């Protein structure tokens, strides 16, 4: 199997043994943990940044020579550079995972991350498109005639009606659009499979689109470019951004915002949180609970406007 991570940009000064240690860890994430390519690249970049810092400031210490003070100094430099607490927490998580793996491999006796505490991050409610704006998006906005317009509208409808991620939509194959079951099968983070029910109306549109376009074999992508290739992520983002800009003024206008909208509208209408968790493909309920805050905020708003003592 080919390796995702072949050479670090800093390989010209990093010892070969250090490179192999990092490479082995990334291979562990890819083949054992089955992390996505996007996640592995994030880990790679975090480790590259950390070991570059060690080379420049601490004369490239060996694995067992890395101290907690080195880590804290690096984190402080990130803070001074204006890096957000959320991003710093991700980098801390990367280092904790890396050094935990080294402990398990017998390469270390003590992790330098044992005394490192992640900075607090303020809870930010996920943005979402208002229900009235989604109705305008699908019922008022005019889409171009022909295959391109049909596909762009269908992409938006699939995002909003199923809550799938951008990568999941791009990878959706013909064989995993099941008209008989009125459901689609997607593969999320870590290649975890989940079945998402689809309304009869949306399934009819999917089938109509499929019948009206030249399809690749069953395991080929459902949505393709004019040349029959898998859609480019930038194109999918651009489609969502273009049409959301016509109906809403929220800050972010991405496929993930439609995922947030899907989950928020479900919880606002009383959907069971565990069911929403399964539909989103979250590994824990904690990740889904953020959407209950939007519901609570909605109730607070109603209370403030309607209650005489509010």
Give tens-digit pLDDT for 103-140. Answer: 999 999 999 999 999 887 666 667 899 999 999 999 99
Taking phi first (over 0 means left), then psi (-120 to 50 degrees means alpha), and beta for anything else, what does residue 280 get? alpha
Dihedral, CA of residue 43, residue 46, residue 49 and residue 50, to nearest 10: -100
221 forms beta bridges with 173
Reduce the DSSP state of residue 187 to 3 states and report it: strand
Tell whether the model's pLDDT for residue 29 goes beyond 90.
yes
CA dist., res. 118 & res. 90, Å (int): 9
Please list, in sequence order, all residues whose beta carbon lies within 8 angstroms of the beta carbon of residue 273, skipping any fewer than 6 positions away: 267, 285, 288, 289, 291, 292
Q: What is the pLDDT of residue 6?
A: 38
Residue 69 sits in the same domain as residue 153: no
- Is residue 40 within 8 A of residue 5, CB to CB? The reply is yes
Q: What is the pLDDT of residue 287?
A: 81
Band of residue 8 on the pLDDT scale cut at 50, 70, 90: very low
Residue 145 sits in the same domain as residue 266: yes
- Is residue 151 within 8 A of residue 206, CB to CB? The reply is no
Residue 79 sits in the same domain as residue 164: no
Count of the separate structural domains present in the chain:
2
Range of the domain at 70: 16-104
Q: What is the pLDDT of residue 11?
A: 46
189 classed as catalytic: yes
CATH code, 52: 1.10.150
| More confident position, 17 or 276 | 276
Q: Give mean pLDDT, residues 234-245.
A: 97
Q: Give mean pLDDT, residues 32-56.
A: 92
Band of residue 217 on the pLDDT scale cut at 50, 70, 90: low
291 classed as catalytic: yes
Catalytic residue among 43, 160, 243, 291: 291
CATH code, 234: 1.10.443.10
**Residue 299 in tokens:** 């109730």
| More confident position, 4 or 200 | 200
Q: What is the pLDDT of residue 158?
A: 98
Residue 173 sits in the same domain as residue 289: yes
Helices assigned H by DSSP within the chain? 16-27, 37-58, 68-80, 85-104, 131-139, 147-162, 166-171, 200-211, 233-244, 255-268, 273-280, 285-288, 290-306
Asked whether residue 118 is domain-assigned, the answer is: no
Catalytic residue among 166, 205, 259, 277: 259
259 classed as catalytic: yes
Residue 210 sits in the same domain as residue 67: no
Residue 188 sits in the same domain as residue 287: yes
Q: What is the pLDDT of residue 228?
A: 87
Q: What is the pLDDT of residue 90?
A: 95
- Look-up of token digits 């240690």: 21
Asked whether residue 115 is domain-assigned, the answer is: no
Band of residue 208 on the pLDDT scale cut at 50, 70, 90: very high
Q: What is the pLDDT of residue 7?
A: 41
Catalytic residue among 30, 165, 205, 277: 165
Q: What is the pLDDT of residue 289?
A: 82
Residue 86 sits in the same domain as residue 208: no
256-302 pLDDT, tens digit each: 999 999 999 998 888 888 999 999 998 888 888 878 766 655 656 65
Asked whether residue 239 is domain-assigned, the answer is: yes
Q: What is the pLDDT of residue 223?
A: 95
35 classed as catalytic: no
Residue 32 sits in the same domain as residue 142: no
Please list, in sequence order, all residues whose beta carbon lies within 8 angstroms of the beta carbon of residue 161, skipping any fewer than 6 positions away: 198, 199, 202, 262
Asked whether residue 263 is domain-assigned, the answer is: yes
Q: Which 8-state DSSP code applies to residue 190?
A: G
Which of 67, 87, 104 is the last residue before a domain boundary?
A: 104
124 classed as catalytic: no
Residue 155 sits in the same domain as residue 232: yes
Catalytic residue among 28, 72, 282, 293: 282
Q: What is the pLDDT of residue 290?
A: 78
Residue 151 sits in the same domain as residue 239: yes
Asked whether residue 117 is domain-assigned, the answer is: no
184 forms beta bridges with 177, 196
Q: What is the pLDDT of residue 258?
A: 97
Tell whether the model's pLDDT for residue 237 goes beyond 70.
yes
Asked whether residue 224 is domain-assigned, the answer is: yes
Band of residue 4 on the pLDDT scale cut at 50, 70, 90: very low
Residue 202 sits in the same domain as residue 80: no
Q: What is the pLDDT of residue 126?
A: 79
Residue 52 sits in the same domain as residue 189: no
Asked whether residue 232 is domain-assigned, the answer is: yes
Please list, in sequence order, all residues whose beta carbon lies within 8 angstroms of the beta carbon of residue 310, skipping any fewer than 6 positions away: 303, 304
Band of residue 10 on the pLDDT scale cut at 50, 70, 90: very low
What is the chain's mean pLDDT, rounded? 87
Asked whether residue 1 is domain-assigned, the answer is: no
Catalytic residue among 90, 185, 194, 256: 256
Catalytic residue among 90, 96, 100, 189: 189
Tell whether the model's pLDDT for residue 80 goes beyond 70.
yes
101 classed as catalytic: no
């Amino acid at each position: 199997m080919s390796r995702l991570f072949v050479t670090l940009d800093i390989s010209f000064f990093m010892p070969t043994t250090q490179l192999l240690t990092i490479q082995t860890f990334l291979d562990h994430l890819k083949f054992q943990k089955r992390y996505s390519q996007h996640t592995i690249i994030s880990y790679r970049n975090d480790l590259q940044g950390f070991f570059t810092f060690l080379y420049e400031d601490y004369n490239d210490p060996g694995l067992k020579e890395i101290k907690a003070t080195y880590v804290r100094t690096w984190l402080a430099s990130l803070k001074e550079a204006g890096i957000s607490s959320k991003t710093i927490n991700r980098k801390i998580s990367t280092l904790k995972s890396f050094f935990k793996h080294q402990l398990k491999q017998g390469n270390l006796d003590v992790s330098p991350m044992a005394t490192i505490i992640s900075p607090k991050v303020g809870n930010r409610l996920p943005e979402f498109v208002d229900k009235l704006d989604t109705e305008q998006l699908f019922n008022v906005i005019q889409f171009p005639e022909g295959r391109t317009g049909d596909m762009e509208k269908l992409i938006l409808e699939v995002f909003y009606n199923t809550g799938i991620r951008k990568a999941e939509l791009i990878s959706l194959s013909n064989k995993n659009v099941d008209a008989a079951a009125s459901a689609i099968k997607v593969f999320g983070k870590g290649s975890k499979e989940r079945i998402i029910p689809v309304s009869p109306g949306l399934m009819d549109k999917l089938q109509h689109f499929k019948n009206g376009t030249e399809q690749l074999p069953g395991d080929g992508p459902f949505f393709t470019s004019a040349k029959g290739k898998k859609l480019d992520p930038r194109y999918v983002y651009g489609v969502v951004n273009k049409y959301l800009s016509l109906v809403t003024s929220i800050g972010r206008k991405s496929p993930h915002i439609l995922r947030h909208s899907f989950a928020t509208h479900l919880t606002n209408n009383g959907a069971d949180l565990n069911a929403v968790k399964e539909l989103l493909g979250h590994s824990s309920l904690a990740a889904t609970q953020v959407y209950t805050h939007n519901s609570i905020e909605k109730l607070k708003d109603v209370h403030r406007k309607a209650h005489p003592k509010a």
